């Protein structure tokens, strides 16, 4: 895809973190990206993470948060979701670079004789391959931002730091901007900020040959100018290049904080134009998000990992943004799928059943779908949320004990309304083998689904192994649901809806992956609208 590039030479921004991880390096980097994008540049992002997994597909979602899926079908962690939300672009397999995948590629090449007997080493082989990945990920960008996971000095991250240092030799130092995000703690007993850990982190970074162009101090509360000046003096950096980014309520307001900090001058110098970004849509969204509306919608999320926002990040972000643009407050109530009863569902304005795997809590999700059907409560089913809706509907339509092959029902059982997809058998515990990424679907003319999308052809991202057994469509329809979209060849059910109900839409896909704060996904927007 050829984008309208403004710059002849792609420019690179490298973001590292000091002192602690988890201080918002990714959000800071994405916010700078959002500002540059609002200046008219095509901006992309990439995460380099030093862990040894090959992808994030097999990582525990409780420990590691939601598994995000790229359009080209790679299972990644939730950082890429932030990048897509802030920059409104589509990440790809090149947007995530894990040590595990680099090692795998090198070792596979070595085993097949690809190095002609040479010694294979971290430098230059690992570092070269990382640089190649960065070049590929940035192929059509004006500005490409690379976030290095972890903290400076981490043993396992050193080869990535060396790779981004070397990158400046390749493309020219003036085409690279290094940003270091350091944590500056507030010590409550002595009522002061302590800059020593940040100084040490910057010293470490210097030791690896990188002097940052911008240092962002992350603090719990606003830090006085002197703190930034002190860090600048000790680190030998211009004092205007050290800026404070204190905690704020909403991550979507971070771009405004970045703009207040004076970083814009440095970014402008870097790209060579002094225009101000057009942040009008961000401003509108920020106003709506921070406003108290008269109306509140109470939406129940029936899920297994209750209260764990990270595990359902894209879903909750899509709901929050849709509430803001619908001008209602969102009261998101978590319902534990393992315990939920009909009584718990009373009084909800809407029900969401998100994606999920395994038998645990599944009867609660089926109950939620059945409740929504019988009580005409707006329902949005995402992936597993479609499967449980079909099971509930088939049960209502007469298939006693309708179930899914995934939930322990044997393949021979006669009631598997949901069964394993062609070609997926035996792959249940292996990584990267599901039906992953973008797939097109055709929507049924005249269906509510088609009306919501405003088109008969759609493309959504997927991550599943099981599908609707169309043999049961008569019973599913008898229970109240109707197929409203299929794969182009008609073999896979992609969307179902309940005609005549206020709002009952379910999809085998994950539309939440394509929802953006500034442009929420139509299914979410319309769902929240129906709830109000
Ligand atoms: N477990 C179901 C499947 O594999 C649903 C997957 C999901 O919700 N992402 O088909």
CATH of the domain at 438: 3.40.50.880
What atom of ligand 1 comes closest to residue 385's alpha carbon?
Answer: 8
Rounded CA-CA distance 113/102 in Å is 17
Q: Which of 42, 512, 521, 531 is catalytic?
A: 512
What atom of ligand 1 comes closest to residue 510's alpha carbon?
Answer: 9
Give, as one character, the DSSP assignment of residue 512: G
445 belongs to a structural domain? yes
What atom of ligand 1 comes closest to residue 463's alpha carbon?
Answer: 9
68 lines ligand 1 (CB under 6 A): no
464 lines ligand 1 (CB under 6 A): yes
Give, as one character, the DSSP assignment of residue 316: H
Give, as one character, the DSSP assignment of residue 55: S
Q: Are residues 302 and 273 in the same domain?
A: no
Pocket test for ligand 1, best of 314, 356, 506 (most atoms within 8 A of CB): 356
Q: Are residues 116 and 135 in the same domain?
A: yes
5 belongs to a structural domain? no
Q: Are residues 278 and 303 in the same domain?
A: no
Pocket test for ligand 1, best of 464, 467, 509, 512 (most atoms within 8 A of CB): 464
Q: Are 494 and 441 in contact (CB under 8 A)?
A: yes
Mean pLDDT rounded to a whole number for the chain: 94
Q: Are residues 237 and 330 in the same domain?
A: no
Q: Are residues 335 and 472 in the same domain?
A: yes
pLDDT for 63 equals: 78
pLDDT for 1 equals: 42
Phi, psi of 63 (to 5 degrees): -75, -40
pLDDT for 140 equals: 87
466 lines ligand 1 (CB under 6 A): yes
Rounded CA-CA distance 11/179 in Å is 14
Q: Are residues 203 and 226 in the same domain?
A: yes
pLDDT for 168 equals: 97
Domain span at residue 186 reads: 11-286
1 belongs to a structural domain? no
381 lines ligand 1 (CB under 6 A): no
Q: How far is the CA of 339 from the centre of ligand 1 (A)?
A: 21
Tens-of-pLDDT digits for all 532 residues of the chain? Answer: 445 688 889 999 999 999 988 888 999 999 999 999 999 999 999 999 998 988 777 777 777 788 999 999 999 988 999 999 999 999 999 999 999 999 999 999 999 999 999 999 999 999 999 999 999 999 889 999 999 999 998 999 999 999 999 999 999 999 999 999 999 999 999 999 999 999 999 999 999 999 999 999 999 999 999 999 999 999 889 999 999 999 998 999 999 999 998 899 999 999 999 999 999 999 999 999 999 999 999 999 999 988 778 889 999 999 999 999 999 999 999 999 999 999 999 999 999 999 999 999 999 999 999 999 999 999 999 999 999 999 999 999 999 899 999 997 777 778 999 999 988 988 887 888 899 999 999 999 999 999 999 999 999 999 999 999 999 999 999 999 999 999 999 999 999 999 999 999 999 999 999 999 999 999 999 999 999 9
490 belongs to a structural domain? yes
* Angle subtended at Cα 153 by Cα 148 and Cα 154, rounded to the nearest 5 degrees: 70
SS3 content of the chain, % helix, strand, coil (to 5): 40, 20, 40
The CATH number of the domain holding residue 191 is: 3.40.50.300
pTM of the model: 0.93
Rounded CA-CA distance 194/429 in Å is 47
Give, as one character, the DSSP assignment of residue 293: P
Question: What is the residue with the minimal CA distance to atom 5 of ligand 1?
Answer: 384
Q: How far is the CA of 294 from the centre of ligand 1 (A)?
A: 37
Pocket test for ligand 1, best of 303, 312, 353, 355 (most atoms within 8 A of CB): 355
> Residue 63 is encoded by which pair of tokens?
């420990």
What atom of ligand 1 comes closest to residue 418's alpha carbon?
Answer: 10
Domain endpoint, select from 218, 251, 286: 286
Q: How far is the CA of 111 from the centre of ligand 1 (A)?
A: 35
Q: Are residues 329 and 238 in the same domain?
A: no
* Angle subtended at Cα 86 by Cα 278 and Cα 456, rounded to the nearest 5 degrees: 100
406 lines ligand 1 (CB under 6 A): yes
pLDDT for 3 equals: 59
Domain endpoint, select from 234, 265, 286: 286
Q: Are residues 266 and 297 in the same domain?
A: no
Question: What is the residue with the minimal CA distance to atom 1 of ligand 1?
Answer: 357
Question: What is the residue with the minimal CA distance to atom 7 of ligand 1?
Answer: 355
Give, as one character, the DSSP assignment of residue 97: E
Q: Are residues 322 and 192 in the same domain?
A: no
2 belongs to a structural domain? no
Beta bridge partners of 67: 77
Q: How far is the CA of 466 from the centre of ligand 1 (A)?
A: 6
468 lines ligand 1 (CB under 6 A): no
53 belongs to a structural domain? yes
Number of domains in the chain: 2
Q: Which of 216, 383, 390, 531 is catalytic?
A: 383
Annotated active-site residue 383? The verdict is yes
Q: How far is the CA of 75 from the centre of ligand 1 (A)?
A: 14
Annotated active-site residue 460? The verdict is no
Q: Are residues 270 and 334 in the same domain?
A: no
Rounded CA-CA distance 76/92 in Å is 10
pLDDT for 62 equals: 76
384 lines ligand 1 (CB under 6 A): yes
397 lines ligand 1 (CB under 6 A): no
Q: Are residues 194 and 115 in the same domain?
A: yes
pLDDT for 431 equals: 81
Annotated active-site residue 48? The verdict is no
Question: Cα–Cα distances in Å, from 87 out to 41, 231, 354, 515?
Answer: 11, 30, 24, 12
299 belongs to a structural domain? yes
> Residue 101 is encoded by which pair of tokens?
């995948």
Note the helical H segments in 98-224: 99-111, 127-137, 158-171, 196-207
69 belongs to a structural domain? yes
Domain endpoint, select from 286, 308, 340: 286
Q: Are residues 223 and 301 in the same domain?
A: no
């Amino acid at each position: 895809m050829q984008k309208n590039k403004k710059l002849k030479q792609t420019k690179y921004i490298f973001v590292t973190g000091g002192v602690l991880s988890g201080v918002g390096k990714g959000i800071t980097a994405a916010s700078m990206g959002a500002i540059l994008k609002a200046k008219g540049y095509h901006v992309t992002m990439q995460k380099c993470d030093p862990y040894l997994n090959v992808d994030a597909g097999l990582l525990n979602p409780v420990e590691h948060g939601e598994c995000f899926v790229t359009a080209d079908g790679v299972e990644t962690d939730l950082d890429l979701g932030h990048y897509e939300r802030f920059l409104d672009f589509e990440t790809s397999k090149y947007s995530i670079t894990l040590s595990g995948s680099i090692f795998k590629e090198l070792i596979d090449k070595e085993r097949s004789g690809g190095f002609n007997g040479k010694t294979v080493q971290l430098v230059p082989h690992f570092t070269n391959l990382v640089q190649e990945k960065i070049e590929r990920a940035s192929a059509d960008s004006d500005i490409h931002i690379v976030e290095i996971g972890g903290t400076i000095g981490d043993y396992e991250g050193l080869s990535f730091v060396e790779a981004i240092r070397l990158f400046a030799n390749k493309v020219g130092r003036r085409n690279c901007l290094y940003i270091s995000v350091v944590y500056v703690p507030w010590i409550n007993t002595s009522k002061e900020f302590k800059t020593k850990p940040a100084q040490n982190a910057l010293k470490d970074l210097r030791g690896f040959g990188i002097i940052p162009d911008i240092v962002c101090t992350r603090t719990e509360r606003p830090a006085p100018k002197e703190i930034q000046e002190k860090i600048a003096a000790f680190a030998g950096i211009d004092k205007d290049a050290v800026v404070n980014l204190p905690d704020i309520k909403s991550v979507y307001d971070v771009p405004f904080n970045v703009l207040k900090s004076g970083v814009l001058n440095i970014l402008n110098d870097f790209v060579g134009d002094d225009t101000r970004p057009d942040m009008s849509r961000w401003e509108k969204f920020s106003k709506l998000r921070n406003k108290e509306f008269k109306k509140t919608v109470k939406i129940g999320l029936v899920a297994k990992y209750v209260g764990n926002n990270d595990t359902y990040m894209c879903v909750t972000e899509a709901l929050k943004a849709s509430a803001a643009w619908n001008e209602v407050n969102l009261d998101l109530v978590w319902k534990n799928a393992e315990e939920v009863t009909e009584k718990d569902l009373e009084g909800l304005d809407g029900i969401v059943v998100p994606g999920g795997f395994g038998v645990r809590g599944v009867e609660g999700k089926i109950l939620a779908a059945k409740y929504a059907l019988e009580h005409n409560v707006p329902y949005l089913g995402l992936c597993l949320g479609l499967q449980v809706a079909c099971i509930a509907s088939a049960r209502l339509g007469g298939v006693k004990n309708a179930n899914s092959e995934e939930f322990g029902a044997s393949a021979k059982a006669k009631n598997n309304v949901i069964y394993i997809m062609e070609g997926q058998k035996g792959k249940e515990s292996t990584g990267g083998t599901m039906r992953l990424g973008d797939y097109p679907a055709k929507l049924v003319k005249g269906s509510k689904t088609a009306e919501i999308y405003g088109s008969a052809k759609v493309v959504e991202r997927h991550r599943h192994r099981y599908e609707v057994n169309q043999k049961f469509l008569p019973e599913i329809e008898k229970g109240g649901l109707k197929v409203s979209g299929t794969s182009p060849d008609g073999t896979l059910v992609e969307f179902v809806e309940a005609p005549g109900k206020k709002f009952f839409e379910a999809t085998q896909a994950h539309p939440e992956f394509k929802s953006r704060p500034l442009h929420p996904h139509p299914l979410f927007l319309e769902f929240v609208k129906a709830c109000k």
